[in-house]
């Protein structure tokens, strides 16, 4: 067994001992069936401490890692391309292209590795979200802001290519709702869906998603201030 797998086992055990419910849920899923996952917004998969990274490095599974930010995509491709499909694009509610906002590389190079990771993870379609994170640091917003034109693929077009998907992760810094709203749950039988809920704007949109999942026979099995996990009944 490789040192990386041993490290993954150790990290999973630590989190299980901390009684983190999401780890129990994901572990049970990986043990119970052959996993084909899709991770939309895969920047964190390049970080050893990422939840998904712990499991995909340990278990025999297949999957797709999707990341539009070229800095993170190159890291993901280098680490995972031999095992998983790596796609440099953004998933959206329509096909085409969009502007993605991030932080300039020259500015990032002046920061520590932890600070770089913190800012890069805030890459978003929404300019104001990136500006808000720069403001928190007291930095000049326009000077360090970078705009990238990225290819976008509609969520159902993606799933048409990967129909065996039974685990879907979505972490898109504010765009999760628009992906989920477009997702055809009647057509695609995805066992477990995990998404970042804290950027969904307003109770009405949250309630729309709750109704959609309920209508399509999904049960909310985990929910906290950051993420929600739905599983088909």
pLDDT tens digits along 122-166: 778 878 777 776 665 655 556 777 888 999 999 999 999 999 999
Partners of residue 66 on adjacent β-strands:
40, 87
Contact 172, 105 (CB under 8 A): no
pLDDT grade for 190, boundaries at 50, 70 and 90? very high
> What confidence tens digit (pLDDT) does each residue in 15-64 have?
555 557 777 888 888 888 999 999 998 876 555 556 777 788 788 899 99
Partners of residue 169 on adjacent β-strands:
39, 194
The label of the residue with tokens 């797709």 reads 64
Is residue 121 predicted with pLDDT exceeding 70? Answer: no
Is residue 168 predicted with pLDDT exceeding 90? Answer: yes
DSSP 83: T
> What confidence tens digit (pLDDT) does each residue in 67-110 have?
998 888 998 899 888 999 999 999 988 899 999 888 777 776 77
Sequential DSSP letters for 7-62: HHHHHHHHHHHTT-HHHHHHHHHHHHS--EEEEES-GGGGSTT-HHHHHHTTS--E
Least confident stretch, 91-95, 184-188, 213-217, 219-223: 91-95
Copy the structure tokens of residue 114. 């932890």
Partners of residue 222 on adjacent β-strands:
229
Domain 3-96+150-232 is of which CATH architecture?
Answer: 3-Layer(aba) Sandwich (3.40)
Name the residue ranges covered by the structural domains of the chain.
3-96+150-232
Rounded Cα distance, 215 and 205, in Å: 15
Mean pLDDT throughout 168-179?
Answer: 90
Mean pLDDT throughout 201-230?
Answer: 92
pLDDT grade for 117, boundaries at 50, 70 and 90? low
């Amino acid at each position: 067994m490789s040192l990386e797998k041993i490290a993954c086992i150790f990290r999973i055990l630590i989190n299980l001992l901390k009684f983190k419910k999401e780890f129990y849920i994901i572990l049970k899923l990986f043990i119970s069936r052959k996993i084909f996952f899709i991770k939309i917004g895969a920047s964190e998969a390049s970080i050893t401490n990422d939840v998904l990274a712990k499991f995909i490095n340990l278990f025999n599974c297949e999957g797709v890692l999707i990341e539009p930010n070229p800095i993170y995509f190159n890291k993901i491709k280098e680490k995972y391309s031999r095992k998983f499909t790596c796609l440099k694009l953004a998933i959206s509610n329509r096909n085409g292209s969009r502007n993605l906002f991030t932080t300039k590389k020259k500015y990032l190079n002046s920061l520590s590795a932890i600070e770089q990771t913190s800012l890069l993870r805030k890459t978003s379609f929404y300019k104001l979200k990136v500006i808000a994170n720069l403001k928190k640091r007291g930095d000049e917003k326009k000077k360090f802001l970078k705009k990238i034109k990225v290819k976008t693929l509609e969520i159902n077009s993606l799933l048409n290519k990967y129909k065996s998907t039974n685990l879907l992760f979505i972490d898109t810094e504010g765009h999760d709702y628009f992906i989920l709203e477009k997702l055809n749950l009647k057509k695609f039988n995805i066992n477990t869906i995990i998404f970042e809920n804290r950027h969904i704007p307003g109770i009405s949109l949250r309630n729309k998603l709750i109704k959609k999942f309920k209508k399509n026979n999904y049960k909310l099995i985990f929910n906290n201030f950051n993420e929600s996990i739905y599983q088909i009944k």
